[in-house]
Structure 1
Amino acid sequence: MKEYFSFDHRLGISVPNIDMEWALYSDETQQAILFHWEKIRGSIPDRIAELENIINYKQAQLSNENDFKVSCKLNSEIAELASIINDLWLWYRANQTVSEKMHN
């Protein structure tokens, strides 16, 4: 499946990397891609929970931080993690129809 997915280091998951029109893939390949995507998609909530734990840790650090530069750095890191979570939810929701296709 490596040819149909690429690992996104920022998100921490593999994302679809389909370079042809979907209908041009054989039914067998389509099913394999959909099955692999569903496994990845199922891991997204766990990945989000990991990132939320990191955010909580950084927020706890931030609440005790007196150094302005360090506070700014922590805020920036928290914002980036929140952005990653948002992108993961977009992947999770936008591809919900893929799950429906598998069950039809």
Structure 2
Amino acid sequence: MRYEFVHDDRLGIRLPMLYHDWDEYTAEERADMLFTWEEIRAKIPDRIMHLESIIAKKQQQLAEEEDFGHCCRLNSEIAELASIINDLNIWFRVQQDYATQHTHQ
């Protein structure tokens, strides 16, 4: 297998696993990878919106919580969800960045 898309439990999407440099893949392989990635990439905004709704609920809980320990746990959970959103935003730009880089060469 020259490449695959592997599910990342933390991000909730499949990520590309390339075993060679991009230029070593055939045009057909690259097209297949980009097609698959575009299908995955298209789901990222919905995944982000779902995580944002979870954050909003946790923030509401945090506003009403009086137990300090539970507040700390909620804050940690919110921070982790925000980190996941940040990583998803980075992955969302991957194809865009690749297209821009290769268009200007």
Whether contact under 8 Å (1:7, 1:13) holds in the other structure is yes
Query: Partner residue of 2:32?
Result: 32
User: Match for 2:85: what amino acid?
Assistant: I
Q: Deviations over 1:26-71 (max 9, x none)?
A: 2111111100000111111000000000000100111110000000
Output the CA distance in 2 between the equivalents of 1:40 and 1:61.
32
TM-score, normalised to structure 2's length?
0.87
* 2:17 counterpart of 1:17: yes
Query: Partner residue of 1:84?
Result: 84
Aligned with 1:4: secondary structure?
strand
Which structure is richer in relative contact order (CA contacts within 8 A, separation 6 or more)? 1
Aligned with 1:17: secondary structure?
strand
Output the CA distance in 1 between the equivalents of 2:56 and 2:94.
27
Query: Partner residue of 1:59?
Result: 59
Query: Partner residue of 1:8?
Result: 8
How big is the shift at 1:97? 3.5
Output the CA distance in 2 between the equivalents of 1:70 and 1:34.
43
Output the CA distance in 1 between the equivalents of 2:52 and 2:94.
21
- Structure 2: tracts of 5 or more residues without a match: none
Whether contact under 8 Å (1:34, 1:99) holds in the other structure is no
Please report the RMSD computed on the Cα atoms of aligned residues, expressed in angstroms. 1.8
Output the CA distance in 2 between the equivalents of 1:28 and 1:10.
30
TM-score, normalised to structure 1's length?
0.88
Over 2 Å off, 4+ runs: 97-101
- Number of residue pairs matched by the alignment: 100
Output the CA distance in 2 between the equivalents of 1:16 and 1:95.
11
